[in-house]
A = this chain, B = another copy of it.
Amino acid sequence: MTGHSDRAVDLADLERLAAALLPAEVRDFIAGGSGTERTLAANRTALDATYVVPRMLAGVEAAATRTSLVDTVAALPLAVAPMAYQRLVHPDGELAAARAAAAAGVPFTVSTLSSRTVEDIAGTDAALWFQLYWLRDRGVVTELVARAEAAGCSALVVTVDVPVMGRRLRDVRNGFALPSSVQAAHLAPGPSGAHDRRAGGSAVADHTGTAFDPTLGWHDLEWLRARTRLPLVVKGVLDPRDAVRCVDLGAAAVVVSNHGGRQLDGALPTALALPRVVEAVGATAEVLVDGGIRSGVDVLRVLALGASGALIGRPILWGLAVDGEHGVARVLRLLGVELEQALLLAGCVDVAAARDLTTHLDSCLP
């Protein structure tokens, strides 16, 4: 089957196609940020403001995009970001997305709030990372870690920027709730608070408030570090001091992220936070980044700013909405082709070479 997604020549095309297909409240749930959506917009603007100085005459026949991310071999310096409830946009949900990730050779991150279980997803052959939300019920946390290990996940991604859910006003205005067909597959079965539609409130946010433990702290990270042999990735770090502490406690990597502008509105855009985190911990840990990455050029930008790789969020859901596995494959293929070309045009023989490029931040151009 080939679908509409093949006509897309860049990710913006897929965004438009998905927007036309999805119900408004689902589109809003995906696209939205918190508060005034300032940080959401700034993620994008800060990338646009990052100019790269390409190198010439490097004699590069083909640029190698292959790399390793948190000890996982990756065909591209990319991983699929953890995103909840992917059945919202396509019946196959995470299965389809993971299959496409497998085919593209990039790690797929299974969310705690996945609408398919990690065991099911493990059947797809994708390299899996498991994303952990810190639930109030420590028993469930323990169980999730065990399931992730058993299912063959190769890293644990602990998301630390959701002690509570950010005020996503689109969802509040829409009174957004999950349809009963979409469930958090790892949590207790049956409709949860996330399904209870009420005017003037987001059921998904209500559910987070009930289920998540806001007190997640450094000692919990230590506790987790002691409990698992998997490498730990801490997702949601913006302050270099926090990054240092994560690495000191044994984290293999941090993800410079503001949760795609969905948590603290007004938080620093990731392209501005990235270089300082790299400076602080780049010598001893991997630094991943996400937020607004929409092209191979964006990937080149963050590599040049010192990242080891990037997580891709919303574009995966655009592809999934438009064409299921095939659409996600299109997203990853476009990113791969674009990145390979960007590396060639920048004179980089591989991903490591991109980290030696000079960048220039000029947030007013154009």
Contact surface of A with B, Cβ cutoff 8 Å: 6-7, 9-10, 35-36, 38-39, 41-42, 44-46, 48-62, 160-161, 163-164, 166-167, 169, 172-173, 200, 214-221, 234, 236-239, 241-242, 245-246, 258, 263-269, 272-273, 295, 297-298, 300-301, 338, 341-342, 344-347, 358, 360, 362-366
Contact = CB atoms under 8 A, between A and B. Distances in A.
A332 B252 CA distance: 43
Nearest to A245: B57
A161 B341 contact: no
Given A9-B173, A51-B268, A341-B166, A366 B45 contact: yes
B169 A59 contact: no
A239 B200 contact: no
A216 B266 CA distance: 39
Contacts of A58: 217
B51 A269 contact: yes
With most chain B CB atoms within 10 A of its CB, the pick from A245, A246, A258, A267 is A267
Each complex incorporates copies of this chain amounting to 4
Contacts of A7: 200
21 contacts: A6-B200, A9-B173, A35-B297, A36-B48, A36-B295, A38-B366, A44-B366, A45-B366, A51-B266, A55-B241, A56-B161, A56-B242, A57-B160, A62-B214, A163-B347, A164-B341, A214-B344, A263-B345, A265-B342, A267-B346, A272-B365
B341 A41 contact: no
Contacts of A169: 9-10
A267 B42 contact: no
A3 B242 CA distance: 44
A229 to B, nearest CB: 21
Contacts of A365: 42, 45-46, 49, 269, 272, 363
A239 B56 contact: yes
A52 B160 contact: no
Nearest to A357: B239
Nearest to A46: B365
B53 A273 contact: yes
Given A272-B362, A273-B53, A363-B365, A35 B264 contact: no
A213 B167 CA distance: 46
A58 B166 CA distance: 17
A42 B366 contact: yes
Contacts of A220: 57, 59
Contact of A345 (B200, B264, B300, B347): B264
Given A50-B266, A59-B218, A265-B295, 15 more contacts: A9-B167, A35-B338, A36-B295, A49-B364, A51-B272, A52-B268, A53-B239, A56-B236, A56-B238, A56-B239, A57-B218, A60-B214, A166-B341, A263-B345, A265-B342
